[in-house]
Amino acid sequence: MMAARPRTLKDARAVYSTNSELAWWVFMRISGFLLVFLVFAHVFANNILTNAGTIDYDYVASRLAQPSVRILDSFLLGFALLHGMNGLRYSIDDYIKRPGVRFWVKVIAYTVAVAIFVVGVMTLWTFTFDEMGAAIRDLTPAQ
């Protein structure tokens, strides 16, 4: 068990035995920097420029109709989920000691995260099940 997470790029290279852990260490810093701007813009638009207590279907529909919102929120969804789930993985490794429990907690967490990612992409890019149904019917040859 590692005593402390490395504090510099040089330490990280020396400590992490695998390239993937080093890559995650770098990813957390790059994605964190990008998320500062993505999340602030998202929170500002939906909580400061808007009264969050008035948000309803029409408001979300009008936002998701804008391509810029779809694109920015897609980056937000991807980076935030990867950054957040990797942070959760660090926390699980730190606080859940029993290997069996740790394994199953991770299985559940990753399964939920993948499902939420799929649902999020569907929401951003297809918007309604009706629209999606129509798109699928268009692709399916007539009976």
Residues near other proteins (CB under 8 A) are 7-9, 29, 32-33, 35-36, 39-40, 43, 47-48, 51-53, 55-58, 60-61, 64, 77, 80-81, 84-85, 87-88, 91, 112-113, 116, 119-120, 122-123, 126-130, 132
CB of 56 to other proteins, least distance (A): 5
CA distance 51 to 47: 6
Taking the least distance from each CB to other proteins, the nearer of 24 and 35 is 35
Tell me the C-alpha to C-alpha distance, in Å, between residue 92 and each of 59, 72, 87, 113, 114: 37, 29, 9, 15, 17
Instruction: Provide CB contacts within 8 A for 7, sequence distance 6+.
Output: none
Minimum CB distance to other proteins, residue 124 (Å) = 9
